[in-house]
Amino acid sequence: MIAFSDERRLPLRPWMIPAFILEVYAFALAFLQAVGGVRTDEAKYLLNIPYPHPPLARTIFSLTEFLPFQEMLWRVILASVLVQAVWLVWDMGRRLPRPSRFVLAASWLLSAAVITLGGAILVATLTALQGLVLLWLWECKWEAGKEINFFSRFPLIHRKEWQACLIGIWWLFSLFTAYQAVIFLPLVLALLRRCGTSFPLRVLYGWLPLGLLGIYTLSNPLAAATMLIHADDGSSVTAFTRLWGTAKLLLIAGSGVATVLGLLGLLRRRSRPVLFSFVLLLFFVLGSVPYPYYALLFLPFLSFGVLHVLDHERLSVTVVLPSLAAAAVVLVFLFPPEFHRSPARAVMQAIIPRDKQGDILITHSFGHEWQYESPFTVRHFRRPLMADAQAIVCQEQCDDFGFEWKPLSVRGITDLPEVWVRSSP
Amino acid sequence: MAKSFPALLFGCLAILILAILTPRVWLLRKLYLDSDLRSTVRVELNGINAQEGILLSDMLVQEVTDNTMRFRLQFHRRGADNSGCLIDYFSTGQVHFCAKSGPPPGPAPATP
């Protein structure tokens, strides 16, 4: 009989059980999002369609395109990093008493934005995490020889010149992940100043990445054109809609309770770089169409604010935690995740087994999820293209296409879209 | 030297990115400098979309001259994408495959 002695057992560290529980939470968030299937923005990132954001994250996503479980893989990874990021929030509050640290961690984990968007494949998730790391660095007081946090164990990082370089690389990666990372410029410049970086090096680490992003934008006219189109879309949105949209995003980001505490904390702390970045974010959201996923961008700022309220106020955990949880439940109920499933997957699952070749033509405008679900070329419907097509998807009622074409019944779809396939064998 | 090594490392990374991006921008400079050319490119892209049903996001403009537009056509889909290089001649409105690029499998190129 083979038996291991007690000494060979995996030692149970204190962080393992919470990490496991957090991972279960992350998996639940990923599966919650999977109910709605792949959305157009998610498909854009998974297929590496070159707009609107810079290429870093979407290139990495698309490297796994050969995997049949690509969608679920990234849902789980993104939900996991978002949920496990609470360790950074926990670390930021190391000076607080334990009950207050639980309130701080809950402000992150019980955010309605985390619950409703945690498992979505979005670059906003990555931008929120990139922002959290910068805020965490801002909270770290780097003192030589003192073990302040995990990174204090690496002597190289104690050197100011390496800290500045790593901040520069983080900033460069953040910018090449998503344009909205630009809002962190004041924070990055302040961090570089704190490292004692000279002016030329601040230009190198802080401003040069912005220049590179500008050059990238010029190299991809579609990205530039999309930004102009989105700006144009936003011009029809009224000031009231923008304000209400932004207020709603703030409410969702902090589940109401952490929104109020976070805003109070931000104002009380009066940390200029953090406030500047937050104001830039406000302007960014107010100036664009307030998409729901922007709520994630507010999250690190609100947790930072909550930290500074907890510094001064001893809030009762037994009051704050249940209030936060109750507010999160109400907000998730009021603004639930997108459960409406695009018909793309069902339609493609009906077309693929026919084992025919040819394009899929789709009438009216359609999302990139159609491309994601299809192993065939997808095009807009044009009559001359019918000769090389194997199926036509009509998103509104279509005329009869003639004897060569017959309707295909798709499981779960009774009305629209109509699917037509060639009647010949 | 040890103190300037991180800056040197970062500088090399920046130069590498710059070296990749600058030639691309140079080939597109006329798109940004000439507003007439810009509107011609827009009309041509919309024309190809209208005729061939190709999504604008599947066409990546790579080079613009006074008479031509070179673009990469990539049909994004699950699995290996069909892709190829095409040149659109503004004077005739005809689209041809680039000299060194084979045609992507599928329908013939657009002739708006």
A352, two tokens:
């693929």
Q: Calculate how close chain A gets to B36, using CA atoms only, in Å.
A: 16
Residue B54 has pLDDT above 60, yes or no: yes
In a domain, B106, yes or no: no
Mean pLDDT of chain B: 87
Check A218 against B17: CB less than 8 A apart: no
In a domain, A193, yes or no: yes
In a domain, B43, yes or no: yes
The answer, for B55 touching chain A at a CB cutoff of 8 Å, is: yes
Specify the pLDDT at position A290.
Answer: 82
Residue A366 CA, chain-centre distance (Å), reads 23
User: For residue B26, which residues of chain A lie inside 8 Å, CB to CB?
Assistant: none
Q: Which range is least confidently modeled, A115-129, A136-150, A373-387, B51-65?
A: A136-150
Cα–Cα distance measured from residue A296 to residue B101, given in angstroms and rounded to the nearest whole number: 43
Q: How many domains does chain A have?
A: 2
Specify the pLDDT at position B30.
Answer: 93
The torsion defined by the Cα of A56, A60, A65 and A71, in degrees rounded to 10, comes to -100
Residue finishing a domain among A334, A366, A400: A334
Interface size, chain A vs chain B, as Cβ–Cβ contacts under 8 Å = 108
In a domain, A1, yes or no: no
> Could you tell me which residues are beta bridge partners of residue B89?
B68
Q: Calculate how close chain B gets to A411, using CA atoms only, in Å.
A: 22
Specify the pLDDT at position B82.
Answer: 87
Mean pLDDT of chain A: 89
Residue finishing a domain among A334, A355, A388: A334
A113, two tokens:
């934005």
Cα–Cα distance measured from residue A303 to residue A355, given in angstroms and rounded to the nearest whole number: 52
In a domain, A239, yes or no: yes
Nearest 5°: CA angle at A419, between A417 and A425?
175
When pLDDT is cut at 50, 70 and 90, the band that residue A152 belongs to is low
Specify the pLDDT at position A231.
Answer: 62
Q: Which range is least confidently modeled, A67-76, A171-180, A351-360?
A: A351-360
Specify the pLDDT at position B101.
Answer: 53
Check A49 against B82: CB less than 8 A apart: no
Interface of B with A in 66-105 (CB under 8 A): 75-79, 82
Q: Which range is least confidently modeled, A287-301, A338-352, A384-398, A410-424?
A: A410-424
Amino acid at site B60: L
For helices A70-84 and A123-139, what crossing angle results, to 10°? 20
Q: Do residues B30 and B66 lie in contact, with contact meaning Cβ atoms separated by under 8 Å? A: yes
Check A375 against B107: CB less than 8 A apart: no
In a domain, A74, yes or no: yes
Check A215 against B18: CB less than 8 A apart: yes
When pLDDT is cut at 50, 70 and 90, the band that residue A145 belongs to is very low
Are A34 and A117 part of one and the same domain? yes
Specify the pLDDT at position B25.
Answer: 95
When pLDDT is cut at 50, 70 and 90, the band that residue B111 belongs to is very low
* Candidate from B14, B21, B24 with C-beta closest to A208: B14
The answer, for B28 touching chain A at a CB cutoff of 8 Å, is: yes
Q: Do residues A355 and A327 lie in contact, with contact meaning Cβ atoms separated by under 8 Å? A: no
In a domain, B1, yes or no: no
Specify the pLDDT at position A307.
Answer: 95
The answer, for B106 touching chain A at a CB cutoff of 8 Å, is: yes
The answer, for B49 touching chain A at a CB cutoff of 8 Å, is: yes
Specify the pLDDT at position A399.
Answer: 81
Q: Where are the alpha helices (DSSP H) in B5-112?
A: 5-27, 29-33, 35-52
Q: Do residues A337 and A33 lie in contact, with contact meaning Cβ atoms separated by under 8 Å? A: yes
Cα–Cα distance measured from residue A51 to residue A123, given in angstroms and rounded to the nearest whole number: 12
Q: Which of A207, A251, A3, A16 is nearest to A111 (CA)?
A: A251
Cα–Cα distance measured from residue A161 to residue A170, given in angstroms and rounded to the nearest whole number: 14
When pLDDT is cut at 50, 70 and 90, the band that residue A142 belongs to is low
For helices A123-139 and A55-62, what crossing angle results, to 10°? 120
* Candidate from B11, B22, B28 with C-beta closest to A204: B11
Query: What proportion of chain A, given as a percentage, has pLDDT over 70?
Result: 91
In a domain, A402, yes or no: yes
User: For B38, which residue in chain A has the nearest alpha carbon?
Assistant: A221
Are A388 and A277 part of one and the same domain? no
In a domain, A56, yes or no: yes
Residue A278 has pLDDT above 80, yes or no: yes
In a domain, A413, yes or no: yes
For helices A208-219 and A221-234, what crossing angle results, to 10°? 90
Q: How many domains does chain B have?
A: 1
Are A239 and A325 part of one and the same domain? yes
Specify the pLDDT at position A413.
Answer: 77
ipTM: 0.89
Q: Which of B84, B92, B8, B10 is nearest to A172 (CA)?
A: B10
Are A120 and A139 part of one and the same domain? yes
The residue of B42, B78, B82 whose CB has the most chain A CBs within 10 angstroms, and thus the best one to mutate to test that interface, is B78
**In this predicted model, what pLDDT tens digit does every residue of B15-39 receive, in sequence order?**
999 999 999 999 999 999 999 999 9
Are A242 and A373 part of one and the same domain? no
Specify the pLDDT at position A229.
Answer: 65
In a domain, B8, yes or no: no
Residue finishing a domain among A292, A314, A334: A334
The answer, for B39 touching chain A at a CB cutoff of 8 Å, is: no
When pLDDT is cut at 50, 70 and 90, the band that residue A149 belongs to is low
Residue A339 has pLDDT above 90, yes or no: no
**Three-state SS across chain A?**
CCCCCHHHCCCCCCCHHHHHHHHHHHHHHHHHHHCCCCCHHHHHHHCCCCCCCCHHHHHHHHCCCCCCCHHHHHHHHHHHHHHHCHHHHHHHCCCCCHHHHHHHHHHHHCCHHHHHHCCCCCHHHHHHHHHHHHHHHHHCCCCCCCCCCHHHHCHHHHCHHHHHHHHHHHHHHHHCCCHHHHHHHHHHHHHHHHCCCCHHHHHHHHHHHHHHHHHHHHHCHHHHHHHHHHHHHHCCCCHHHHHHHHHHHHHHHHCCHHHHHHHHHHHHHCCHHHHHHHHHHHHHHHHCCCCHHHHHHHHHHHHHHHHHHHHHCCCCHHHHHHHHHHHHHHHHHHCCCCCCCCCHHHHHHHHHHHCCCCEEEECCCCCCHHHHHCCCCEEECCHHHHHHEEEEEECCCCCCCCCCEEEECECCECCCCEEEEECCC
Check B77 against A378: CB less than 8 A apart: yes
Q: Do residues B76 and A371 lie in contact, with contact meaning Cβ atoms separated by under 8 Å? A: yes
Residue A377 has pLDDT above 50, yes or no: yes
Write out the residue range of the structural domain in which residue B77 sits.
Answer: 28-97
B50, two tokens:
């209208």
Check B60 against A50: CB less than 8 A apart: yes
Are A212 and A248 part of one and the same domain? yes
When pLDDT is cut at 50, 70 and 90, the band that residue A182 belongs to is very high
Are A225 and A361 part of one and the same domain? no
> Could you tell me which residues are beta bridge partners of residue A217?
none
Write out the residue range of the structural domain in which residue A204 sits.
Answer: 16-334
Specify the pLDDT at position A7.
Answer: 57
Are A328 and A349 part of one and the same domain? no
Q: Do residues B74 and B82 lie in contact, with contact meaning Cβ atoms separated by under 8 Å? A: yes
User: For residue A164, which residues of chain B lie inside 8 Å, CB to CB?
Assistant: 6
Specify the pLDDT at position A134.
Answer: 95
Counting every residue, how long is chain B?
A: 112
Check B106 against A368: CB less than 8 A apart: no
Cα–Cα distance measured from residue A344 to residue A337, given in angstroms and rounded to the nearest whole number: 19
Reply yes or no: is the peptide bond before residue A18 cis, omega within 30 of 0. no
In a domain, A3, yes or no: no
Residue A161 has pLDDT above 80, yes or no: yes
Are A21 and A82 part of one and the same domain? yes
Q: Which range is least confidently modeled, A40-49, A284-293, B68-77?
A: A284-293
Are A317 and A351 part of one and the same domain? no
